[in-house]
Amino acid sequence: MAQDRVGEKAVQAAQKTPPRPQYLRTTLIQLILLLSGTPIMYWVAGLPSAMSLVYGALCALLPQAYFALRVNNAARRSAQQAARAGLAAEGGKFVLSAVSFALVFAVLKPEKPELVFLGFGVFWVIQIVDGIRLLRDLR
C-alpha cells in the first residue's frame, strides 16, 4: 500500500513539466529602468550625458529583447531544437550588439562616449544578475 503511494508520487513528478523560465522579465526590468532613469539623468547631468547613456542602454536592451523573444519561442519546441535556437539567438544577440555599437558611433556620434559604455555595462550587469536568478529558479 505504501509502495503504491510512492510509485504514484514518482509518476506524478515525472509527468510534471518544469516551469518555463521568464526570459522577457529581464527585458521588462531594463525597459522600466530606462524609462524611469532617463528623465532623472537628463535633470542631473543634462541632455548630452542622458542621450549617451540611453544609446548605451539601447545597445544592450534591443539585443536582449531579440534574444528573449527567440528563446521564449524556442522553449515550446523539443529540447534539441530549443538548444539550437538558443545558440542561434545568442549569436544573433552578439551580432546585434556589435552592429548597434557601430551605428551609435558612426551615425549618432555621442558627445560623451564613455557614458555609452557605462549605459551598456549597467544593462549588461542586469542581464547577468537576472540570468543567474533564472538558473537558480530552475533548480
Q: Tell whether the model's pLDDT for residue 29 goes beyond 90.
A: yes
Q: What per-residue confidence (pLDDT) applies to 92? A: 97
pLDDT digits (tens, 9 = 90+) for 124-138: 999 999 999 988 887
Q: Which residues contact residue 66 at a Cβ distance below 8 angstroms, ignoring those fewer than 6 apart?
A: 89, 92, 93, 96
- In percent, how much of the chain has pLDDT > 90? 71
Q: Which residue has the higher pLDDT, 138 or 48?
A: 48
Q: What per-residue confidence (pLDDT) applies to 18? A: 58
d(CA 90, CA 100): 15
Q: Tell whether the model's pLDDT for residue 2 goes beyond 60.
A: no
Rounded to 10 degrees, what is the CA torsion of 64, 30, 135, 117?
A: 70
Q: What per-residue confidence (pLDDT) applies to 11? A: 58
pLDDT band at 74 (very low <50, low <70, confident <90, very high): confident
Count of other CB atoms within 10 angstroms of residue 67: 24
pLDDT digits (tens, 9 = 90+) for 80-124: 998 999 999 999 999 999 999 999 999 999 999 999 999 999 999
Least confident of 10-14, 53-57, 90-94: 10-14
Residue pair 82/74 in contact by the 8 Å Cβ criterion: yes
pTM of the model: 0.83
